[in-house]
Structure 1
Amino acid sequence: AYVLEEAVKEGHVEGLSSLENATVVIQGFGNAGFNIANILHSEYGCRIVGISDSGGGVYDPEGRA
């Protein structure tokens, strides 16, 4: 989450000025993907609308908690 947060702060993520309450999709849901999803949701209030891995994916425009 630190690298993503710094990239956003430095303006390297077009159209996003903060992670607070951002809408996100997670690609890869192993240990790293699972943990970043938890951090983005619990610490930044992000709405996770999609998750995918090599076996497929799920999408819900309302997001999942």
Structure 2
Amino acid sequence: MRREPNWRIPVGMLALLLGLTIYAVVIARYAPALMAGWPVLAQTAIYLILGIVWLLPLKRFLIWMETGRWG
């Protein structure tokens, strides 16, 4: 475990917040227009999937924040 703070953690947190904000704005802007005529259950499933998709690259990103390596 590291004993000294590094620059990757605050930069990584800011990048994560910025990335999630951009992702949320894009989804909120374009998804409703694309799914306007879909059944409610289909829309719910898509929003659940989109709500989970952003977690996929998170593990590697958190590893980078702690160690400086992507893997």
Report the TM-score, using the length of structure 1 for normalisation. Answer: 0.28
Larger Rg: 2
- Greater relative contact order structure (CA < 8 Å, 6+ sep): 2
Q: Where is the strand percentage greater, Structure 1 or Structure 2?
A: 1
